[in-house]
Amino acid sequence: MPRYNKKITRQMDYDEFKEAIQALEPDRKAFLSVLFFAGVRVSEALAITSNDITCTPDYIYVNFHRLKGSKQTDPTPLPNQDALTWLCAQEGKIFSWHRSTGYRIVTRIFEGFYPHFFRQNRITKISEEFSDAHVYSFVGICAQSIDHYRAKVDIKKVGKALVKELK
């Protein structure tokens, strides 16, 4: 489980994320984009090699090697757009730095945030839009772990659904 003092419970949308990374070098943009879109741990992102990547016109499929007892998942489809397209042109180890450098990249660009925030952000978004079964298949963690990562959600949606149900 993540080790941080205060869990961030707000969500980050892509526009906010994209604005924060626009001035970075391509490898750092790609690294942060992998964390943002795939919701993986820093070590899982750093472990990928070109052999783990399959590029199509629409998607980049990444076979992440899951850690900490997570179930191995099918290759993760990421959009073949923006900073992620950089991944398709790489050979060998994709990101050549250490885990602590990956952590520092996140905390320098996103002050007050931590790498696992992106995992929490993705798990919450998938859970809100789909189901826990989708979360499980996407990141390979059990229901108990999903609850640990899930952030506060907008309960107004539930209220609107209740009103709609009465009609």
Give the separation between CA 71 and CA 110, rounded to whole angstroms: 29
* Under 8 Å between Cβ of 127 and 146: yes
What fold, for 14-166?
Answer: hpI Integrase; Chain A (1.10.443)
* Model pLDDT, residue 107: 93
Residue for token pair 């399959």: 54
Q: What is the DSSP string of 71-101?
A: PP-PPEEEESSGGGGGGGG--SBS--S-HHH
pLDDT by residue for the chain (167 residues), tens only, comes to 455 555 566 789 999 999 999 999 999 999 999 999 999 999 999 999 999 999 999 999 999 987 766 677 889 999 999 999 999 999 999 999 999 999 999 999 998 888 888 988 888 888 888 887 887 777 776 666 666 666 555 566 767 777 887 77
Residue spans per domain, the chain: 14-166
Closest among 94, 61, 59, 56 to 75, alpha carbons compared: 61
Closest among 147, 113, 131 to 11, alpha carbons compared: 113
* Model pLDDT, residue 161: 77
Measuring CA to CA, how many Å separate 46 from each of 50, 65, 142, 155, 158? 12, 10, 23, 36, 38
* Under 8 Å between Cβ of 115 and 41: yes
Which helix (H) or strand (E) covers residue 60, if one does? strand 59-62
